[in-house]
Amino acid sequence: MSRFMIVLGVLYIIGAIYGFQAFRTLVRSPYLQIIYGLAFVGVLVNLYLQFNHFDRSEGINSGMGLAVGLFLAFAAFGLCSGFFMLVEDVVRVVRWIVGKFTTTPELASGDFPSRRKFVSQIALGIASVPFLSLLYGMYKGKYDYQVLSYTLEFEDLPDAFEGYRLTQISDIHSGSLDNKKKIEYVVDLINQQESDVVLFTGDLVNNVASEMHPWKETFGKLKAKDGTFSVLGNHDYGDYADWSSDADKDANLEELKQIQRDMGFNLLLNENRFLEKDGQRIALIGVENWGEGGFKKAGDLEKAVKGVEASDFKILMSHDPSHWEHQVVNHPYHYHLTLSGHTHGMQFGVEIPGIVRWSPVQYRYKYWAGIYEKAGQYINVNRGLGFIGYPGRVGIWPEVSVIELRKKSKTTV
């Protein structure tokens, strides 16, 4: 058992105990109090059992995901409610000390039942918000698909591609999926956009190619006039699984590549294709994963653009948005539009258009969700279609991006 897991468990128990003080103050039934305690213990035991029986060669399964999700929900409830009770206890001790050394005897008892009840109500009320939100995210939020549409204008867009539409999806993480009807629905939703091309920007699986077997036929139904193209994400290489040999790991990657080809995906491995229309063209470039912070750096941009002219209109598919920040924006070539994923928006945050846009992932990634522009170049960071780790989404919903390219009219002076 790792030290991290032990520390996590200790914090969970502390939160549960302090949170129980609020629950016990408001709920006098001993039976409900026992149920409260057993629920917290059961969630923790289940998590440790899942980790102890975790087979890294098979990857994260739905049982593991459920255990993690319930642990996070109960931990949030316990720590949040426990924080208020801890503060109330500190105040009580301070008042008791003050009462002992002053002539204010009513403070010395340190006992204020009405205040204790009020604080307990506040504690449980506030703690129920993240608790219920995390449960909702597991039940419904993870399949609450959103179609986000953007229109981007470029002065040098070839005339033939005026109004050209592309649909981007990312981070399917098929090993976490557990609802066939919902996946069939989103595949139909993608096809209903009737875009000219569909682009998948990596992380088809969590760890191993076999995760895609139940979903291969469904995602094979994705269609677009100019085809479906894809690149690899960091999870696709099998780096997070245990392998008996390098040969097995290599075979897994080859199987995953073949699965994509069997589904009709045109997998770009540091290479490019030209989309042609009425004698004009745009370059579609796909790099393998390249990411800062210890992530795989298999992407080779120089190799990927061989045969592409500097004057070509360029769309780059690169899984990790840190690649855009560190290598693409300042590259001698001008990359008009880069499509990335990877961050998932951490599957948790608050987005109210024009008011607030926040997720903890923004402290790790400068470009973490949506459209950004720098030096006349754009990037769209897709929030992802699937999920991993926490089996849900709260505030950051699964996304289908639809981008329409427009010719920007030149202004005259």
pLDDT value of position 9? 87
Assess whether pLDDT exceeds 70 at residue 108.
Answer: no
pLDDT at 106: 57
Which pTM does this prediction carry?
A: 0.90
Residue 120 structure tokens = 């307990």
Helix (H/G/I), strand (E/B), else coil: 164: strand
In 3D, which of 343, 387, 413 has the Cα closest to residue 72? 387
Eight-class DSSP state of 234:
G
pLDDT(117) > 90 = no
Burial 93-129 (b: 16+ CB within 10 A, else e): eebeeebeeeeeeebeebebeeebeebbeebbeebee
pLDDT class for 413, splitting at 50, 70, 90?
A: very low
Q: Which tops the pLDDT comparison, 4 or 130?
A: 130
In this predicted structure, the answer to whether residue 114 has a pLDDT above a threshold of 50 is yes
DSSP state of 23: H
Closest CA to 168 of 224, 206, 235: 224
Q: How do 271-277 and 280-286 pair as beta strands?
A: antiparallel
**Arithmetic mean of pLDDT, 48-59:** 75
Is 90 exceeded by the pLDDT of residue 58? no
What digits encode the pLDDT tens for the residues 368-411?
999 999 999 999 999 999 999 899 999 999 999 999 999 988 65
Q: Say if residue 303's pLDDT is above 70.
A: yes
Cross-strand pairs, 156: none
Average the pLDDT over each of 97-111, 115-129, 204-218 and give the range with the smallest value: 97-111
Confidence of residue 328 (pLDDT cuts 50, 70, 90): very high
For residue range 175-219, list pLDDT tens digits in order: 999 999 999 999 999 999 999 999 999 999 999 999 999 999 999
Mean pLDDT of 164-176: 97
Alpha helices in 172-328 (DSSP H): 180-192, 216-219, 246-262, 301-304, 321-323
pLDDT computed for residue 354 by the predictor: 85
pLDDT at 361 over 90: yes
Domains of the chain: 3-139 (no CATH), 143-407 (3.60.21.10)
| Count of CA atoms in the C-beta half-sphere (13 A) of 280 | 14
The single-letter DSSP state of residue 353 is T
- Which pLDDT band holds residue 89 (cuts at 50, 70, 90)? confident
Confidence of residue 170 (pLDDT cuts 50, 70, 90): very high
On average, the pLDDT of the chain sits at 92
pLDDT digits 0-9 by tens, 10-25? 989 999 998 898 899 8
CB 380 within 8 A of CB 371: yes
Mean pLDDT of all residues in 216-237: 97
Tens of pLDDT, residues 249-272: 999 999 999 999 999 999 999 999
pLDDT of residue 381: 98
Query: What whole-number percentage of the chain has pLDDT above 70?
Result: 92
pLDDT tens for 272-299 read 999 999 999 999 999 999 999 889 999 9
What pLDDT was estimated at residue 266? 98
Q: What is the pLDDT of residues 128-164, one digit of tens each?
A: 999 999 999 999 999 999 999 999 999 999 999 999 9
